[in-house]
Amino acid sequence: MDRMTCPLCGLNFEVTANTKCSGCVLNKNCERICCPRCGYEMVAESSLVSFAKRLFGKRPAE
């Protein structure tokens, strides 16, 4: 499973079906994730972006 870090409270958590946003009745299948600690909603990373991150990794700062 994928892991995310909440930008608001800093919690590193596993993304599961329980962390998917459920507050919106108009778009049940949105890509938003809710932090289990503070409830902050953020957009989940697309599979293409996560693939590129794994492929290229972090580059050293210059």
User: What percent of the residues of the chain are helix, what percent strand, and what percent coil, each to the nearest 5?
Assistant: 20, 20, 60
Residues 18-44, mean pLDDT to the nearest whole number: 75
Q: Taking 70 as the threshold, does the pLDDT of residue 11 lie above it?
A: yes
Report domain extents, the chain: 3-56
Say whether 52 sits in a helix, a strand or coil: helix
Q: For residue 8, give every residue at least 6 positions away whose Cβ sits within 8 Å of its Cβ, in sequence order, or none.
A: 35, 38, 40
The mean pLDDT of the chain is 77
